[in-house]
């Protein structure tokens, strides 16, 4: 088994009210969206002047510090972004900056990008598999993204914030065993199961996200553990527009009590980082119970990825 520890995140240093988002009124009209902030959950977003590497380093360092882990004890880095900058000639330097900045100079690394806003959960699935196989004992997972063109900060499904999020995935051998997770205080989360579902014909950006795929992933995730969906204490979902999240996740079988929508208004959609951000915020607020099951799940057109966590108070 493996455990997830020390979810941390950083956001863009500049907070913008939705009324300050460039071209919001024009985009809303273009998308035929009634300009009612309360309906959609329009609130604030965060913008950065920093690069992706800086965001990744800040978040990754915060995770290592919170976990009480020496960077030399981390075997690998899995780095996610929806748009890695540059091309093959610049990617080496980009990765080197992050490895050096987090103190992981000797760690192996892996990049994940094509899965869009499910990138982080695909990375957690990968880290879980690598740890379970004994390939690595401790892996730092980091996702980092920012909007480059301010006209793209609003899409038909979300308002975007810039930021990064990270956690450690470490080896454990038995229930309650978190020996590989470091010396930091705080909860650990056993990774109980991972699952996904996809439909190749629906992967194009123009398609809607699918509640059917979410239900399929739920079954694959929970049935082998003899868990029912109503035994899941909370859903760590993407911070999409409020009616979209509510409709699609309710169609997938979740109840209103399992949703956590406060961050939709507070920060909007931070690309793939939302599940870790929502986990960290609920942990900090004391909303998560020891032994509780929390399902991190994100949908994009044609794909759903889910990771089931169980909280161990540590």
pLDDT digits (tens, 9 = 90+) for 258-297: 999 999 999 999 999 999 999 999 999 999 999 999 999 9
Q: Which range of residues forms the domain containing residue 198? A: 188-312
HSE-up (13 A, CA, CB side) for residue 142: 31
Residues 173 and 36 reside in one and the same domain: yes
Residues 229 and 128 reside in one and the same domain: no
Residues 126 and 81 reside in one and the same domain: yes
Is residue 308 pLDDT above 60, yes or no?
yes
Number of domain units in the chain: 2
Residues 107 and 123 reside in one and the same domain: yes
Residues 79 and 198 reside in one and the same domain: no
Residue finishing a domain among 181, 215, 250: 181
The C-alpha atoms of residue 89 and residue 57 are separated, in whole angstroms, by: 21
Residues 166 and 208 reside in one and the same domain: no
Residues 173 and 197 reside in one and the same domain: no
Residues 51 and 77 reside in one and the same domain: yes
Is residue 178 pLDDT above 80, yes or no?
no
Residue finishing a domain among 181, 198, 228: 181
The C-alpha atoms of residue 121 and residue 4 are separated, in whole angstroms, by: 12
Residue finishing a domain among 181, 201, 221: 181
Segment 82-96 mean pLDDT: 96
Residues 145 and 104 reside in one and the same domain: yes
Residues 236 and 264 reside in one and the same domain: yes
97: which 2 tokens?
A: 């900056």
| Average pLDDT of every residue of the chain | 95
Query: Can you give the pLDDT at residue 52?
Result: 98
CATH code, domain carrying 48:
3.40.47.10
Query: Can you give the pLDDT at residue 173?
Result: 47
Is residue 177 pLDDT above 70, yes or no?
no
Residues 116 and 239 reside in one and the same domain: no
Residues 273 and 194 reside in one and the same domain: yes
Render the chain in DSSP notation, one character per residue: -EEEEEEEEEE-SEEEEGGGSTTHHHHHHHTT----HHHHT--EEEE-SS-HHHHHHHHHHHHHHHHT--GGG--EEEEE-SS-SS-HHHHHHHHHHHHHHHT-TT-EEEEE-TTGGGHHHHHHHHHHHHHHTTS-SEEEEEEEE--SSGGGSB-SS-BB--EEEEEEEEE--STT--GGG-S--S-EEEEEEEEEEE-GGG-STTSPP-HHHHHHHHHHHHGGGT--GGG--EEE-----HHHHHHHHHHTT--GGG---HHHHHT-B-GGGHHHHHHHHHHHTT---TT-EEEEEEEETTEEEEEEEEEE--
Segment 121-143 mean pLDDT: 98
* Bridging pattern class, strands 293-300 and 234-236: parallel
């Amino acid at each position: 088994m493996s455990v997830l520890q020390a979810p941390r995140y950083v956001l863009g240093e500049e907070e913008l009210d939705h009324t300050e988002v460039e071209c919001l009124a024009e985009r809303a009209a273009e998308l035929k969206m009634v300009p009612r902030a309360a309906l959609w959950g329009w609130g604030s977003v965060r913008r950065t002047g920093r690069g992706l590497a800086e965001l990744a380093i800040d978040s990754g360092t915060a995770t290592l510090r919170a976990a009480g882990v020496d960077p030399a004890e981390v075997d690998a880095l899995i780095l996610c972004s929806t748009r890695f900058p540059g091309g093959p000639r610049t990617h080496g330097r980009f990765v080197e900056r992050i490895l050096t900045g987090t103190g992981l100079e000797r760690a192996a690394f892996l990049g994940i990008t094509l899965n869009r806003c499910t990138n982080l959960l695909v990375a957690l699935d990968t880290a879980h598999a690598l740890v379970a196989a004994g390939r690595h004992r401790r892996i730092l997972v980091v996702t980092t993204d920012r909007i480059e063109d301010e006209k793209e900060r609003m899409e038909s499904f979300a308002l975007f914030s810039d930021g990064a999020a990270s956690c450690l995935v470490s080896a454990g051998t038995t229930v309650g065993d978190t020996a590989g997770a470091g010396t930091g205080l705080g909860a650990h989360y056993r990774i109980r199961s991972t699952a996904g579902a996809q439909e190749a014909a629906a992967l194009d950006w123009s398609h809607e996200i699918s509640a059917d795929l979410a239900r399929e992933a739920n079954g694959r995730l929970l049935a082998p553990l003899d868990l029912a969906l109503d035994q899941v204490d909370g859903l760590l979902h993407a911070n999409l527009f409020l009616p979209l999240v509510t409709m699609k996740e309710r169609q997938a079988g979740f109840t209103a009590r399992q949703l956590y929508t406060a961050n939709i208004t507070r920060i909007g959609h931070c690309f793939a980082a939302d599940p870790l951000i929502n986990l960290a915020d609920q942990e900090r607020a004391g909303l998560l119970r020891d032994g509780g099951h929390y399902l991190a799940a994100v949908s994009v057109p044609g794909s759903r990825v889910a990771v089931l966590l169980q909280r161990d108070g540590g």
